[in-house]
Amino acid sequence: MPTVADPAAPHRVHAALGVPFRCLPLGTASVAVSMLAMVAPALSSRLPSAASHEWLEAEASTRRFARLIRPAGIDAPTAVAMVFASKTPPAEVERVARSTTQLAEAGVPVPALYRIEPEQRLIVQEDLGSIALADAKTHGVDLRAAYSEAMAILKRIEQAAVDTSPAPPLDAVRMRRELAQFASGAVPGSGPELEADLDAVVEACAALPVALCHRDYHSRNLLVLDGRVRVIDHQDAMAAPLPYDRVSLAYDPYVELAEQTRDVIAATARPALEAWAAEDPDENDIERAIGWVAVQRLAKAIGTFTFKGGKWTTVIPPAARQARRLIAKHRLSVPVLDMALAPLSIGGALR
């Protein structure tokens, strides 16, 4: 149980309650701990039978995850229970399970499913361990090999002819809505000049060919088990601008990578964009296209981090720094956005 001084306590409460998290006022950690103490027994009562269980650290999702030790009726020493918020429609639980099955059939190494209980708002799945790519180096993992495997997995996702989400694709409307959260949360009081720059970002991204994308493909959603990369948090895969997942991995603010390494990862999107570039060589610039999508992704992430608050705000500076670097590198004409990012870029990465 977190202590009063635990800065992550509000986030664990947010996940336990299954409601969107807003930044709690300073000094409310003790309230958060009390709330968590009240809801934890209710959450545990929804878990399937096992010798014991342990709740995993809450991330940005409204779902909670528990590791089951010697789960009953499952031929595995451990498993992970995905517990949905109590008001989640059973159809959503079924959709998440269906997305897992579809991606597995496409060769994407997602967790195996052991049990699906829509009415209980519960999925029990394979335990992929706790070594995220973000921390793999400290566990002796060969990062070059791991990132190479992560890129190979991306190709399978992009080529998968499946529909894993009922939501509309990551089109111009959805991308603009994401950037509205960035503007209102991270740059409150912004004016029409910033809005015009954000419109330009979306227009450039929406002109690109699309492919199925994981949509949150970064080092905290890639686990390393027995030397192999596995994929989690994949339930919202949808059609998106083709470079999206690659720039998400390349400019991931959770890890420290050399800028050249980041750019090399992002450049792996080039072959898939060559046909698009050939349609209008004077206008369709692949490097700038990659830059536009990366800036949209990073601004969207900053908006999300601002909305979540707490520990997530420490990831804003590295994300903002990457966005500014890419604006300059690709000569993207969004000067007001660049100025808005400047004060956000001060600070260190979450480690």
Position 40 scores a pLDDT of 63
Position 25 scores a pLDDT of 36
Tell me the one-letter amino acid at 233: D
Q: How far apart are CA 187 and CA 344, in angstroms?
A: 9
Tell me the one-letter amino acid at 146: A
- Start-end of CATH 3.90.1200.10 domains in the chain: 133-345
The mean pLDDT value for 134-151 works out to 94
> What would the pLDDT profile of 163-216 be if each residue is shown by its tens digit?
777 677 899 999 999 999 999 989 888 899 999 999 999 999 999 999 999 999
Position 77 scores a pLDDT of 97
Q: Answer whether 234's CB lies under 8 Å from 214's CB.
A: yes
294 phi and psi angles, rounded to 5 deg: -65, -40
**59 to each of 96, 148, 217, how far by Cα in Å?**
17, 25, 15
Q: How far apart are CA 338 and CA 351, in angstroms?
A: 25
For the chain, the C-alpha Rg in angstroms (whole number) is 20
| pLDDT averaged over every residue in the chain | 87
Q: Give the fold, CATH level 3, of 48-127.
A: Phosphorylase Kinase; domain 1 (3.30.200)
347 pLDDT tier (thresholds 50, 70, 90): confident
38 pLDDT tier (thresholds 50, 70, 90): low
The mean pLDDT value for 83-102 works out to 95
Position 200 scores a pLDDT of 98
Position 6 scores a pLDDT of 41
Measured from the Cβ of residue 177, the count of other Cβ atoms closer than 10 Å reads 12
More confident residue, 85 or 42: 85
Please count the residues of the chain: 351
27 pLDDT tier (thresholds 50, 70, 90): very low
> What would the pLDDT profile of 215-252 be if each residue is shown by its tens digit?
999 999 999 999 999 999 999 899 999 999 999 999 99
> What would the pLDDT profile of 260-317 be if each residue is shown by its tens digit?
999 999 999 999 999 999 999 999 999 999 999 999 999 999 999 999 888 899 999 9
The mean pLDDT value for 41-70 works out to 88
The mean pLDDT value for 73-87 works out to 96
- Start-end of CATH 3.30.200.20 domains in the chain: 48-127
Task: Report residue 15 as tokens.
Answer: 């996940």
**117 to each of 18, 54, 257, how far by Cα in Å?**
18, 20, 40
Position 3 scores a pLDDT of 34
The percent of residues above 70 in pLDDT, for the chain, comes to 87
H helix count then E strand count, the chain:
12, 9
Residue 8 confidence (pLDDT) above 60: no
Q: At what angle do helices 286-308 and 259-267 cross, to 10 degrees?
A: 110
Q: Which CATH superfamily is domain 133-345 in?
A: Aminoglycoside phosphotransferase (APH), C-terminal lobe (3.90.1200.10)
Q: Which residues contact 69 (CB under 8 A, 6 or more apart)?
A: 50, 51, 52, 53, 54, 77, 78
Residue 76 confidence (pLDDT) above 60: yes
